[in-house]
Amino acid sequence: MARNILFILFFGFFSTLQVSATVKIGLVLDKGGKDDKSFNTSAYEGAKKAEKELGIELKYVEATDSNSLETLHRNFAQKKYDLVIGIGFAQIDAVKKVAVLFPQTHFAIVDGEVSAANVRSLLFEEHEGSFLAGAAAAMKSKTGVVGFIGGMDIPLIRRFQKGYEAGVKYVNPKATVINNYVGVTGEAWNNPAKAKEMALSQIGQKADVIFHAAGASGAGIFDAAADKKIYAIGVDSNQNWIKPGVVLTSMLKRVDVAVFETIKSVKDNKFQSGIIRFGLKDSGVDWAFDSFNEKLWSAPEKTKMEDIKKQIISGKIKVPDYYKTK
């Protein structure tokens, strides 16, 4: 009996020791939430993968409003989390403020630049990926008209649009691009019904491939494309599986890889601050080719895509960047 108690005590002591030794990761998701099948889902999956493979302790939260972001970061830091990851540019201010107050805690921010000794900024070259999406659209379009539907009308999404337009014109200089934005408020990320109407209207104007950068609103565009038997292109996560045969490809933004690598670096004690850019060359941005869309692509078309990708990486093709040319 006494031995049992001793054993339990010992085991209990041991297990608490173990808990305190695991690396604790806090993930602050954007307002879209972890089930947007797009940007936040990607981040969440990266962190989940790290939880499974690296044995870290993961806690994720979703912001209720922009003032609560700072509190969430603060609370994570106060609870002595080793790494706090902010997903989305909306959290730049929060990370900037909190990182100064908690110099011992590591921070990471996706889609934003914060220069501090304990912050890693993870940026993506979205225009490069969008260029590929544009090339794919132009290659597959029979009418010479393609569409772009953005979520909220903000600089980040304009960057997608500009890259996409350039990609379309690269393959088919005569092609027309129809641009629409779902809305001007945050609601635009989550309004599939309106997105579907826009897609239908674009199809009415003869668009036969539509690329979306509209978060959870994208579901409506996939619906419209399936109804009218045209192609759609997904964004952020690999969305090929959502409607196989309709989703031509997805412009991947590997937030999951960025998140996973950052967590790994903390786990291995190799965390470095500074800006890390993910582009085509390190597959941080890419086009998705898998079992769900392989039937849509012939071998020469696929080769052409890979060829364009190589040319962008080598610098032969200059992709216009909305941030720089604005």
Partner 1 sequence: MKRENLAPWFGFLFGLFLACSLALFFKESPVHVLKIVTTSFLNSKYDFGLTLFYTTCLIFAGLSFAIPMKAGLFHIGSEGQLTISATIAAIIGVSFNANTFTGLAAIFIITILTGMLSALIIALLKFYRKAHEVVVAIMLNFVFAALSTWVTVNHFQNTASQNPETGLILDAYQIFKNDPIKNYFEQSPVSSFFVLAIIFCILLRWLESKTLFFQVIKSYGANPAANKRFGFSELKILTSVMLMAGFFSAFIGLTEVLGNSFQYKIGFSPSYGFLGIAVALLARQNFIGLIGSSFLIALLHKGASDLDLETQFLTRDFSRVLQALIIFSVAASYYVFTYRKRKESN
Amino acid at 115: S
From the list 185, 205, 283, 303, which residue makes contact with partner 1 (rule: CB under 8 A)? 185
From the list 45, 51, 153, 321, which residue makes contact with partner 1 (rule: CB under 8 A)? 153
CB 155 to partner 1: min, Å: 6
Residue 152 binds partner 1, judged by CB under 8 A: yes
Residue 99 binds partner 1, judged by CB under 8 A: no
Q: Residue 57 contacts by C-beta under 8 Å, 6 or more apart in sequence?
A: 19, 22, 23, 24, 25, 51
Residue 74 binds partner 1, judged by CB under 8 A: yes
From the list 48, 54, 89, 304, which residue makes contact with partner 1 (rule: CB under 8 A)? 89
Could you tell me the strand order of the sheet in which 285-287 lies?
176-183, 145-152, 209-213, 231-236, 247-253, 285-287
CB 319 to partner 1: min, Å: 19
Please list the alpha-helical segments (H only) found in the chain: 2-21, 39-54, 66-78, 92-101, 126-140, 155-171, 192-204, 218-227, 255-267, 299-314, 322-325
Residue 90 binds partner 1, judged by CB under 8 A: yes
What does the angle CA 318 – CA 322 – CA 326 come to, to the nearest 5 degrees? 115
Token pair 């994720």: residue: 60
147 phi and psi, to 5 degrees? -120, 155
Residue 115 binds partner 1, judged by CB under 8 A: no
Q: Which is nearer to partner 1, 65 or 316 (CB)?
A: 65
Q: Name which of 121, 61, 125, 95 is nearest 262 in CA terms.
A: 121
CB 70 to partner 1: min, Å: 8
Q: Which stretch binds partner 1 (CB under 8 A): 59-67, 195-203, 236-244, 293-301?
A: 59-67
Q: Which is nearer to partner 1, 90 or 200 (CB)?
A: 90
Q: Name which of 182, 183, 215 is nearest 199 in CA terms.
A: 182
CB 282 to partner 1: min, Å: 22
Crossing angle of helices 155-171 and 126-140, in 10° steps, is: 40
Residue 61 binds partner 1, judged by CB under 8 A: yes
The interface mask with partner 1, positions 7-26, x = CB under 8 A, is --------------------
Residue 201 binds partner 1, judged by CB under 8 A: no
From the list 45, 54, 58, 68, which residue makes contact with partner 1 (rule: CB under 8 A)? 68
Residue 164 binds partner 1, judged by CB under 8 A: no
Amino acid at 158: R
Residue 64 binds partner 1, judged by CB under 8 A: yes
Q: Which stretch binds partner 1 (CB under 8 A): 88-96, 131-139, 262-270, 281-289?
A: 88-96
Q: Are 284 and 130 in contact (CB under 8 A)?
A: no
In the DSSP assignment, the letter for residue 216 is G
CB 145 to partner 1: min, Å: 26
Chain centre distance of CA 73: 20
Q: Which is nearer to partner 1, 89 or 241 (CB)?
A: 89
Binding site for partner 1 (CB under 8 A): 31, 59, 61-68, 71-72, 74-76, 78, 89-90, 92, 111-112, 152-156, 184-186
